[in-house]
């Protein structure tokens, strides 16, 4: 009983025209009389006709498909993926999802493999890759990496912009904080590296004391461990955590040490995770619009695939939200 999908031939027969006329009518390309065109369109619609993408792809030599590479992490990848899927759909591409686990090398290999596969017209990776290992032939599909900062790579780099951390640290210094600590994220994330770099530059510039940079993960465990490793006289202290998960661990570790927040120490995070406004104390953080970041990354990929100029980002993605973990600040007191 299962009535197969109608083809352009079926539509042609029903409309009383040739198959090529159907194709021209639907694509709007050739020179079809308006009346003919409308008639064909009406018939096609009434039959629920949908072009067979595989056939089109074979003829046009374009797969109409893009790939996104992701994996499991404590992160906001699904939001980025959502934004990316939205833009890909608007641009008329199907989006293949590839989940990759393992080392950065393994991921890089997978990305290279995809780019060379000929099955997709472009690759967007949300996982860090090894730029040096990402050697692509001329005929490989373009690759956009959201988490890498490298001259060789097309990258949006927006998530790696750590500029606001300077603002945060100077505001804390202006509020009287004199001793800082940075609990960093994983080295292979561009965002983690630039946060660390801005931290180091800013404590240097302000001439405040730094207990150094510890940790290399996005996890609460890392923040907690950093607190447990501190000497008893470490407080008063301002802790700059690489993101909110790390900051949450700092909160937890501080509680275990008997340090009050924001009394004995203050903490800042990054990303405005779903929980950050509801911890006690709530977390001062730098919200990131990950859905929009995903959209922008995909727009960049689509532009690369089409050989167009990459779009210029308009509004900045980040800002600072001062909450209880720093006793608030700029807005409220000083």
User: Least Å distance between CB 38 and DNA?
Assistant: 10
Is residue 214 involved in binding its own copies (CB under 8 A)? Answer: no
Which of these segments, 57-65, 68-76, 238-246, 275-283, binds DNA (CB under 7 A)?
57-65
Question: Which partner from the list its own copies, DNA, none does 19 bind, CB cut-off 5 to 8 Å by kind?
Answer: DNA
Which of these segments, 16-24, 34-42, 97-105, 170-178, binds its own copies (CB under 8 A)?
97-105
Which of these segments, 17-25, 174-182, 264-272, 274-282, binds its own copies (CB under 8 A)?
274-282
Answer yes or no: are the C-beta atoms of 130 and 152 closer than 8 Å.
no
Diameter of the chain measured on Cα atoms: 88
Is residue 64 involved in binding DNA (CB under 7 A)? Answer: no
Is residue 52 involved in binding DNA (CB under 7 A)? Answer: yes
Question: Which partner from the list DNA, its own copies, none does 277 bind, CB cut-off 5 to 8 Å by kind?
Answer: its own copies
Is residue 307 involved in binding its own copies (CB under 8 A)? Answer: no
Separation CA 323–CA 6 (nearest Å): 59
Number of Cβ within 10 Å of residue 258's Cβ equals 9
Is residue 205 involved in binding its own copies (CB under 8 A)? Answer: no
Number of Cβ within 10 Å of residue 17's Cβ equals 19
Is residue 103 involved in binding its own copies (CB under 8 A)? Answer: no
| Contact string (CB under 8 A) for its own copies, positions 244-263, x = contact | -x--xx-xx--x--------
Answer yes or no: are the C-beta atoms of 67 and 74 closer than 8 Å.
no
124-183 binders of its own copies (CB under 8 A): 137-139
User: Least Å distance between CB 138 and DNA?
Assistant: 17
Which of these segments, 30-38, 193-201, 221-229, 263-271, binds DNA (CB under 7 A)?
30-38
Which of these segments, 148-156, 171-179, 234-242, 243-251, binds its own copies (CB under 8 A)?
243-251
HEC string for the chain: CCCCCCCHHHHHHHHCCCHHHHHHHHHCCCCCCHHHHHHHHHHHHHHCCCCCHHHHHHHHCCCCEEEEEECCCCCCHHHHHHHHHHHHHHCCCEEEEEECCCCHHHHHHHHHHHHHCCCCCEEEECCCCCHHHCCCCCCCCCEEECCCCCCCCEECCHHHCCHHHHHHHHHHHHCCCCEEEEECCCCCCHHHHHHHHHHHHHHHHHCCEEEEEECCCCCHHHHHHHHHCCCHHHCCEEEEECCHHHHHHHHHHHHHHCCCCCCCEEEECCECCCCCCCCCCCCEECEECHHHHHHHHHHHHHHHHHCCCCCCCCCCCECCECCHHHCCCCCCCC
Is residue 85 involved in binding its own copies (CB under 8 A)? Answer: yes
How many residues of this chain interact with its own copies, rule: CB under 8 A? Answer: 60
5-24 binders of DNA (CB under 7 A): 7-9, 17-21, 23-24
Question: Which partner from the list DNA, its own copies, none does 27 bind, CB cut-off 5 to 8 Å by kind?
Answer: DNA
| Contact string (CB under 8 A) for its own copies, positions 44-73, x = contact | ----x-x-xxxx-xx----x-x--x-xxx-
| Beta-bridge partner residues of 209 | 179
Binding site for its own copies (CB under 8 A): 1-5, 48, 50, 52-55, 57-58, 63, 65, 68, 70-72, 74, 77-79, 81-83, 85-86, 89, 94-99, 116-119, 137-139, 219-220, 224, 245, 248-249, 251-252, 255, 273-275, 277-280, 282, 291
């Amino acid at each position: 009983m299962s009535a197969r999908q109608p083809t352009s031939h079926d539509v042609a027969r029903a409309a009383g025209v040739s198959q090529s006329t159907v194709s021209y009518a639907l694509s709007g390309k050739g020179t079809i009389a308006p009346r003919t065109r409308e008639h064909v369109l009406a018939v096609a619609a009434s039959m629920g006709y949908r072009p067979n993408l595989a056939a089109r792809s074979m003829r046009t030599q374009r797969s109409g498909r893009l790939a996104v590479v992701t994996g499991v992490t404590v992160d906001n990848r699904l939001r980025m993926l959502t934004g990316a899927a939205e833009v890909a759909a608007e641009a008329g591409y199907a989006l293949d999802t590839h989940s990759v686990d393992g080392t950065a090398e393994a991921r890089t290999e997978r990305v290279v493999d995809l780019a060379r596969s000929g099955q997709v017209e472009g690759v967007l990776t949300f996982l860090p890759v090894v730029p040096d290992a990402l050697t692509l032939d001329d005929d490989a599909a373009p690759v956009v990496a959201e988490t890498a900062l490298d001259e060789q790579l097309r990258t949006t780099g927006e998530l790696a912009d750590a500029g606001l951390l300077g603002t945060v640290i100077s505001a804390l210094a202006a509020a009287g904080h004199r001793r800082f600590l940075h609990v960093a994220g994983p080295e292979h994330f561009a965002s983690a590296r630039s946060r660390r770099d801005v931290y180091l530059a800013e404590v240097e510039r302000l001439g405040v004391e730094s207990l150094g940079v510890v940790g290399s993960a996005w996890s609460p465990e890392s923040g907690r461990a950093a607190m447990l490793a501190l000497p008893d006289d470490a407080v008063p202290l301002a802790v700059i955590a690489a993101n909110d998960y790390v900051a949450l661990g700092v909160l937890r570790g501080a509680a275990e040490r008997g340090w009050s927040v924001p009394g004995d120490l203050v903490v800042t995070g990054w990303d405005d995770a779903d929980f950050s406004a509801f911890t006690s104390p709530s977390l001062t953080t730098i919200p990131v619009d990950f859905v929009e970041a995903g959209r922008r990354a995909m727009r960049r990929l689509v532009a690369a695939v089409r050989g167009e100029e990459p779009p210029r980002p308009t509004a900045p993605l980040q800002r600072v939200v001062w909450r209880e973990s720093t006793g608030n600040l700029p807005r409220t007191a000083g």
